[in-house]
């Protein structure tokens, strides 16, 4: 028994020693971001580099929102985090982010109010929206006999074996609900069952579920997939640029929309730097650089005039009707997230 205690003590000492290595440095000397890969490009935060040439932001990249959230929950020390809106409430509820002092955000008044609202909880702003985009149906017009005009057409047998949808419970639950005319965020148990049945009925039409941008681009380019459900702006732009005959639908039920943005860690020791970084990425030039690079929408209205005309036309960025009809994802409660994930797992398992 003594040996066991010695062993445990040894492990404890070792783990404390290791933890010591990761202890935060003095305040405002470094900046750690939990960030999607691709957003670390210097042209997205030039003003910060000019202001703090001695500080190189450190990035910890993630590929899925769940990954970032579990990392933050497991005690990873960060100053800024960049999740998408459906996770915003979870960060707030878990106490991982702090309320923002809007007076410190230079460009706050130019942020589109409908996007800003998504980051407000209990009367306080926790997240700054930065980029947004569509999820819609990407169609290979040269391969289909009839170009669809609604989400419901994904179920049309004429496309059997050539449809792909994003492998996401939230996305498909919301999509099926909008086809059925159900409010996905307040569905009754009967309606949930209806949505599940609807998604099961989609399976015969599906070739595969797509999981990332590269995969869906290849599937559409090869001609295996004619209808790519929940495809993002950049997938359409890339295929269009490569000369494929593709169309990005404006479905009858509306395009789905996502928005992502930044929050400051509740435990950040570098809050001043974090605000400086936020002001840098929200500057109209920085946002326009991001929009023009990735074909995503910008949250700062002042960046709109700086966008390439080609991109604005391609994405209907100047058409208020498309934006007004867009069904933006809402922040989810834990119960909602669990429900969406459970239904999707059951659909995939094939009940």
Nearer to another protein, 72 or 317 (CB): 72
Alpha helical stretches, state H, the chain: 2-21, 46-51, 65-73, 85-93, 113-117, 169-180, 189-202, 213-222, 233-241, 271-282, 284-294, 309-314, 320-325, 334-349
- In the bound complex, what is the minimum distance in angstroms from residue 17's beta carbon to another protein? 15
**Which among 82, 127, 123 has a CA at the least distance from the CA of 105?**
127
**Which among 88, 91, 73, 97 has a CA at the least distance from the CA of 129?**
88
- In the bound complex, what is the minimum distance in angstroms from residue 203's beta carbon to another protein? 6
Nearer to another protein, 54 or 335 (CB): 335
Q: List all residues 6 or more positions away from 152 whose beta carbon is below 8 Å from its beta carbon.
A: 179, 252, 253
Measured in degrees and rounded to the nearest 5, phi and psi for residue 255 equal -75, 150
Structure tokens at 196: 């599940």
- In the bound complex, what is the minimum distance in angstroms from residue 94's beta carbon to another protein? 6
Q: Contact, 168 vs 319, CB < 8 A?
A: no
Nearer to another protein, 313 or 334 (CB): 334
Distances (CA, A) of 103 to 111, 200, 281: 14, 49, 16
Distance CA 55, CA 62 (A): 22
Structure tokens at 208: 């595969």
Nearer to another protein, 180 or 221 (CB): 221
**Which among 158, 140, 63, 83 has a CA at the least distance from the CA of 337?**
83
- In the bound complex, what is the minimum distance in angstroms from residue 194's beta carbon to another protein? 18
- In the bound complex, what is the minimum distance in angstroms from residue 37's beta carbon to another protein? 16
Nearer to another protein, 72 or 273 (CB): 72
Nearer to another protein, 8 or 56 (CB): 8
Residue ranges binding another protein (CB under 8 A):
7, 11, 64, 66-67, 69-70, 73, 94, 167-169, 203, 206-209, 211, 222-224, 334, 337-338, 341-342, 344-346, 348-351
- In the bound complex, what is the minimum distance in angstroms from residue 333's beta carbon to another protein? 12
- In the bound complex, what is the minimum distance in angstroms from residue 249's beta carbon to another protein? 22
Nearer to another protein, 69 or 151 (CB): 69
């Amino acid at each position: 028994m003594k040996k066991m205690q010695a062993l445990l003590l040894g492990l404890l000492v070792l783990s404390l020693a290791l933890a010591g290595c990761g202890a935060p440095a003095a305040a405002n000397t470094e900046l750690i971001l939990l960030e999607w890969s691709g957003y670390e490009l210097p042209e997205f935060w030039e003003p910060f580099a000019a202001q703090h040439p001695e500080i190189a932001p450190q990035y910890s990249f993630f590929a899925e929102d769940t990954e970032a959230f579990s990392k933050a929950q497991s005690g990873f020390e960060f100053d800024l985090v960049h999740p998408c809106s459906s996770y915003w409430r979870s960060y707030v509820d878990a106490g991982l982010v702090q309320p923002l002092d809007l007076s410190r955000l230079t460009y706050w008044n130019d942020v589109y109010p409908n996007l800003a609202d998504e980051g407000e909880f209990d009367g306080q702003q926790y997240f700054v929206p930065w980029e947004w985009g569509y999820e819609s149906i990407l169609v290979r017009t040269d391969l289909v006999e009839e170009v669809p005009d609604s989400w419901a057409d994904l179920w049309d047998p004429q496309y059997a074996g050539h449809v792909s949808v994003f492998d996401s419970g939230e996305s498909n639950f919301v999509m099926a609900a909008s086809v059925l005319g159900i409010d996905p965020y307040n569905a009754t148990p009967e309606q949930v069952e209806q949505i599940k049945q609807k998604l099961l009925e989609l399976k015969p039409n599906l070739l595969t579920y797509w999981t990332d941008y590269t995969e869906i681009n290849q599937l559409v380019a090869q001609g295996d997939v004619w209808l790519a459900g929940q495809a993002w702006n950049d997938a359409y732009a890339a295929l269009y640029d490569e000369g494929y005959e593709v169309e990005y639908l404006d479905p009858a039920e509306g395009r789905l929309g996502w928005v992502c943005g930044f929050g400051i860690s509740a435990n950040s020791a570098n809050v001043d730097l974090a605000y400086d970084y936020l002001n840098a990425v929200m500057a109209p030039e920085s946002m326009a650089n991001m929009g023009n690079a990735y074909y995503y929408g910008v949250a700062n209205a002042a960046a709109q005039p700086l966008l390439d005309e080609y991109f604005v036309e391609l994405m209907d960025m100047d058409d208020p009707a498309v934006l007004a009809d867009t069904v933006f994802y809402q922040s989810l409660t834990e119960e909602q997230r669990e429900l969406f994930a459970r239904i999707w797992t059951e659909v995939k398992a094939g009940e």
